[in-house]
Chain A
Amino acid sequence: MSLVSYEFLAFFAAAAILYYVVPKRVQWILLLAVSFLFYAAGGAVYLLYPMITAVSTWFLALRIGRADSAAQTYIQEQKPDKEQKKAYQARIKKHKKRLMTAGILLNFGILAVLKYTDFLLGNLNVLFHLEEGAIPQISWVLPLGISYYTFQTMGYLIDVFRGRCRPEKNLFRFMLFVTYFPQMVSGPISRFDQLKKELFEEHSFDGTQFTFGLWRILWGFFKKLVIADRIAPAVAMITAAPDVYDGIYVLVGMLGYTLQLYTDFSGCMDIVIGVSQCFGIRLPENFQRPFGAKNLSELWRRWHMTLTGWFREYIFFPVSTSRFCRTVSRFAGKLGLHKVTKKLPVYIANLIVWFVTGIWHGAAWGFILWGLANGIVMMVSQEFTELYRAFHRRFPKTDGSVYGALQKVRTGLLFSGLLMFQYYPFGTVFAMLGNLLARGRLSQLFDGRFAELGLAAADFIVIAIGLVLMLLIGVLQETGSVRQKLAARPLVVRFTAVFLLFVMVLVAGCYGHGYDASQFIYNQF
């Protein structure tokens, strides 16, 4: 069930009504039932996958919790001396680690098999110089949202291991955490200690929150239907045919792809978070005006934040502080590479994170290269940090807003440019970039190729209005919630603003007959 379908709207309306009609203590049970229904709409069999993940993780987390309480009892009752205590704790930790590792291997194993088998087979094919298709592809059907719920659930398991949150005893409550329908399909990736309070609390109907939720959904529909889906066909044409669309079109495709990606995914998040808000359940934000960032790593801290946060917490920090990294950097120190030793752990961890980020986004070399390229750019810019700082000290005027704006533009272009690795064939990215720089002319926009993209004058007007509106909202957001500001205005103003947005979506949205129902880009993960 697509989030932008009549079915989903009807489903959501029915769920919302029921949610506030049933006794408050069963609200979470209703959400669980509704989530199961939502998932089963795409084929009941596929519920099996999240169920395996939920049950196995629930069970292992409970065992970890039990080991913890056993240790506590032991310390309280036996009053061991320091040495004994340490030895006992080490043993318990080892046991807990085994349980956690089992859960991680099982669940990431399922994800890996389903998502990467074909990629692996394809590479084996190439590696052994076999004919295309000599090793047949398996083409597993990827269960909806598997990348999201697996990450969310594994985060929980690690948190329980670390003692950051207590294991959930009730299997069904835990299942709701795994399958909560607004977020299951494309995130945000929540943490149990934050979401549990929201999910299992009793929620009374709150008119303001509900209205805010609906406004946010509408805004998400606007981004997705009016902008993302409008430019999608043209973007697909440009990015799929680099030999036809060269020169200035490399830039057009680059910006279009980025705009589509952003409006599609952040629009989806607006719908998801808005729907959840209508249930009184706050989900973590996934975007924070990413194109207001002044450098790439800042942009990535504001883009798909729950995923990057996950990687930071569960991969970057553990790897960079691991014994392995310590050994490597000590080894580098012995070789006399003193300058590197300090940074080596960071860089090793950084490359691993970006490799994983790449492959998370798609089982293809393009995605892996894209991820690594991001990581490398960030490392290089880290190397230049001191230079930048010296530069700013020497020229204090560069802290001004003009320079800041330039930095934002540069960062946005860098981010967009790196995305070329995602859609251009391996090895042609630099050639296309060179082509743009050497041959790009503005006049190429009027050489007839643009007309073939299927965008009419009306489309450009709509896109322009959309961009202006998004910019406006972005600026307003800098000084606090736009919805709160709107809510403080008189009824007529409120109505007019929301109604106009609604009419924009209704009339200028790309939906219904004549439009291919395009799924959210981030659904396929």
Chain B
Amino acid sequence: MRWKKPVCVLLLAAVGVTVIAGLQRLLMPKYMGQVVEGNLTSEYYEETTPHDVVFLGNCEVYENISPIVLWREFGITSYIRGNAQQLIAQSYYILEDTLKYETPGVVVFNVSAMQQFDQNNESYNRMTLDGMRWSASKWNAIRATMMEDEHMMEYIFPILRFHSRFAELEADDLTYFMKSGKVAHNGYYLRADIRPAGDLPVERRRSDYSFDPRSWEYLERIRALCENNGIQLILMKAPSLYPAWYDQWEVQIEEYASEHNLQYINCLEAADEIGIDFSQDTYDGGLHMNVYGAEKLSRYLGPFLLGAGADDHRDDAELAAVWAEKGLFYDSMKAQQEEEFAQFGYLKQFTTEE
């Protein structure tokens, strides 16, 4: 009978841990409603094939570039590792994280994150970081970008952060208990609705246009990491009208690029050349591209990427099969949204009922 007590204790401990783990999963937001961006980071780990190109950045990458078009028209395999307000430090650690799984030939970093080093909204941090697999990179990413009232403990045990949702659980929390649904297309957030760019807030003059030194530090770290891994780094600025991108910033980035012999593509300046029509190609009045804008931008970027070392893989049968499936998902979502938008003038999932 001597074994009985330890076995009992172990069994009860196992039950306890399981119940708490289950509760934690139940209480964590599933991001399957109006906000789906919380799923972007984790979807990356479901990839089965490598990528030639990885995009890093905030909404200016994950809403503006369509990897499906890059594949279909150039045979480029790519993935967008971007999130809502993904800070430059987070981009660095997510690149570190990516390198654990693959080494892309090209990394494209969108420079708009240079302007703001510190997080100003805790939920963006959670959406970007919670989906990361545990590693030193995740730990460091949290350490580097945690807001003052955030705690590492609440990342290690997210139930400590989300426990209060017990009062507002919804059907989605059960539906997606085991696994969240797929929301993105290789990191691309597809929107097929249209809201033309209208009056944007007036640009405010700033007293100081220099970037935060910590932003420069992380840009340098991204550059060094790419260099050490033989990755071609490209800097880009997406064609978003707002938040404003000042000439003073442009100059600094141009200088940095030429100093380090990097390619810098300013798509905002090239908007006309790309063919972006801000009355048709944006879903939120000029902040972000819709799928039409994103496809145009992708067609514009394709040649640069090929030039930087990405290959055309269209004759690789295995890849072609994988991407064909991605294409189906993409086409069906796009068609469904187009239909809904044509019928109602809005997308139900992304609008709140009055």
Say whether, besides A499-B16, A503-B20, A491 and B167 are in contact (CB < 8 Å): no
Say whether, besides A491-B12, A495-B12, A507-B166, A513 and B150 are in contact (CB < 8 Å): yes
Measured CB to CB, the closest approach of chain A to B222, in angstroms, equals: 29
The verdict on B252 contacting chain A, using a C-beta distance below 8 Å, is no
Q: Is the CB of B23 within 8 A of A456?
A: no
Measured CB to CB, the closest approach of chain B to A487, in angstroms, equals: 15
Query: A514: which B residues are within 8 A, CB to CB?
Result: 164
A-B contact count (CB 8 A): 48
Which of B122, B149, B151, B164 gathers most chain A CB within 10 Å? B164
Which stretch of B152-160, B179-187, B254-262 is in the interface? Answer: B152-160
- Cα distance A456–B167 in the bound complex, in angstroms: 8
- Cα distance A459–B168 in the bound complex, in angstroms: 11
The verdict on B8 contacting chain A, using a C-beta distance below 8 Å, is yes
Say whether, besides A506-B20, A513-B154, A491 and B9 are in contact (CB < 8 Å): yes
The verdict on A6 contacting chain B, using a C-beta distance below 8 Å, is yes
The verdict on B5 contacting chain A, using a C-beta distance below 8 Å, is yes
Q: Is the CB of A492 within 8 A of B20?
A: no
The verdict on B19 contacting chain A, using a C-beta distance below 8 Å, is yes
Query: A495: which B residues are within 8 A, CB to CB?
Result: 12, 16
- Cα distance A510–B122 in the bound complex, in angstroms: 18
The verdict on B161 contacting chain A, using a C-beta distance below 8 Å, is yes
Which of A458, A499, A509, A513 gathers most chain B CB within 10 Å? A513
The verdict on A446 contacting chain B, using a C-beta distance below 8 Å, is no
Say whether, besides A6-B153, A512-B154, A513-B122, A492 and B160 are in contact (CB < 8 Å): no
The verdict on A508 contacting chain B, using a C-beta distance below 8 Å, is yes
- Partner of A506 from the list B5, B154, B159 (CB cut-off 8 Å) is B159
Say whether, besides A491-B8, A491-B9, A499-B16, A506 and B151 are in contact (CB < 8 Å): no
Query: A510: which B residues are within 8 A, CB to CB?
Result: 164
Say whether, besides A6-B151, A6-B153, A503-B23, A492 and B12 are in contact (CB < 8 Å): yes
Q: Is the CB of A507 within 8 A of B154?
A: no
The verdict on B133 contacting chain A, using a C-beta distance below 8 Å, is no
Interface string of A481-525 (1 = CB under 8 A from B): 000000000011001000100010011111111110000000000
- Cα distance A231–B19 in the bound complex, in angstroms: 28
The verdict on B163 contacting chain A, using a C-beta distance below 8 Å, is yes
Query: A503: which B residues are within 8 A, CB to CB?
Result: 19-20, 23
Chain A: CB-nearest residue to B26: A507
Query: A511: which B residues are within 8 A, CB to CB?
Result: 160
Q: Is the CB of A508 within 8 A of B8?
A: no
The verdict on B194 contacting chain A, using a C-beta distance below 8 Å, is no
The verdict on B111 contacting chain A, using a C-beta distance below 8 Å, is no
For chain A, residues 379 to 427, give those with C-beta under 8 angstroms from any C-beta of chain B.
none
Measured CB to CB, the closest approach of chain B to A300, in angstroms, equals: 36
- Partner of A509 from the list B8, B154, B163 (CB cut-off 8 Å) is B163
The verdict on B27 contacting chain A, using a C-beta distance below 8 Å, is yes
- Cα distance A515–B167 in the bound complex, in angstroms: 14
- Cα distance A506–B162 in the bound complex, in angstroms: 10
Chain B: CB-nearest residue to A496: B12
Chain B: CB-nearest residue to A508: B166
Measured CB to CB, the closest approach of chain A to B143, in angstroms, equals: 15
Q: Is the CB of B12 within 8 A of A515?
A: no
Say whether, besides A512-B161, A513-B161, A515-B164, A507 and B122 are in contact (CB < 8 Å): no
- Identify whether the interface residues of B are mostly helix, strand, loop, or mixed: helix
- Cα distance A104–B335 in the bound complex, in angstroms: 83
- Cα distance A491–B164 in the bound complex, in angstroms: 30
Chain A: CB-nearest residue to B150: A513
Query: B16: which A residues are within 8 A, CB to CB?
Result: 495, 499
Measured CB to CB, the closest approach of chain A to B182, in angstroms, equals: 28
Measured CB to CB, the closest approach of chain B to A211, in angstroms, equals: 13
Chain B: CB-nearest residue to A10: B153
Say whether, besides A491-B5, A492-B12, A507-B27, A512 and B163 are in contact (CB < 8 Å): yes
- Cα distance A6–B160 in the bound complex, in angstroms: 10
Query: A491: which B residues are within 8 A, CB to CB?
Result: 5, 8-9, 12
Query: A456: which B residues are within 8 A, CB to CB?
Result: 167
Query: A458: which B residues are within 8 A, CB to CB?
Result: 166-167
Q: Is the CB of B160 within 8 A of A512?
A: yes
- Cα distance A510–B9 in the bound complex, in angstroms: 30
Query: B19: which A residues are within 8 A, CB to CB?
Result: 499, 503
Chain B: CB-nearest residue to A500: B19
Measured CB to CB, the closest approach of chain B to A8, in angstroms, equals: 12
- Cα distance A304–B163 in the bound complex, in angstroms: 33
- Cα distance A515–B159 in the bound complex, in angstroms: 14
Measured CB to CB, the closest approach of chain A to B38, in angstroms, equals: 15
Query: A499: which B residues are within 8 A, CB to CB?
Result: 16, 19
Measured CB to CB, the closest approach of chain B to A466, in angstroms, equals: 14
Interface string of B20-54 (1 = CB under 8 A from A): 10010001000000000000000000000000000
- Cα distance A279–B9 in the bound complex, in angstroms: 24
Measured CB to CB, the closest approach of chain B to A208, in angstroms, equals: 15
Query: A508: which B residues are within 8 A, CB to CB?
Result: 163, 166
For chain B, residues 256 to 280, give those with C-beta under 8 angstroms from any C-beta of chain A.
none
- Cα distance A57–B281 in the bound complex, in angstroms: 78
Measured CB to CB, the closest approach of chain B to A296, in angstroms, equals: 38
For chain B, residues 103 to 158, give those with C-beta under 8 angstroms from any C-beta of chain A.
122, 149-151, 153-154
- Cα distance A509–B163 in the bound complex, in angstroms: 8
Query: B12: which A residues are within 8 A, CB to CB?
Result: 491-492, 495
- Cα distance A492–B23 in the bound complex, in angstroms: 20
Measured CB to CB, the closest approach of chain A to B45, in angstroms, equals: 25
Query: A513: which B residues are within 8 A, CB to CB?
Result: 122, 149-150, 154, 161
For chain B, residues 38 to 95, give those with C-beta under 8 angstroms from any C-beta of chain A.
none
- Cα distance A492–B13 in the bound complex, in angstroms: 11
Measured CB to CB, the closest approach of chain B to A516, in angstroms, equals: 10
Measured CB to CB, the closest approach of chain B to A238, in angstroms, equals: 21
Query: B159: which A residues are within 8 A, CB to CB?
Result: 506-507
- Footprint of B on A, CB under 8 Å? 6, 456, 458-459, 491-492, 495, 499, 503, 506-515
8 closest Cβ pairs, A-B complex = A458-B167, A6-B153, A495-B12, A507-B163, A507-B166, A512-B160, A513-B161, A499-B16
Question: Can you name 8 A-B residue pairings with CB atoms under 8 Å?
Answer: A458-B166, A458-B167, A459-B167, A491-B5, A499-B16, A499-B19, A507-B163, A508-B166
For the complex with contacts A491-B9, A512-B160, 4 further pairs of A-B residues with Cβ separation under 8 Å are A6-B160, A503-B19, A507-B159, A512-B164
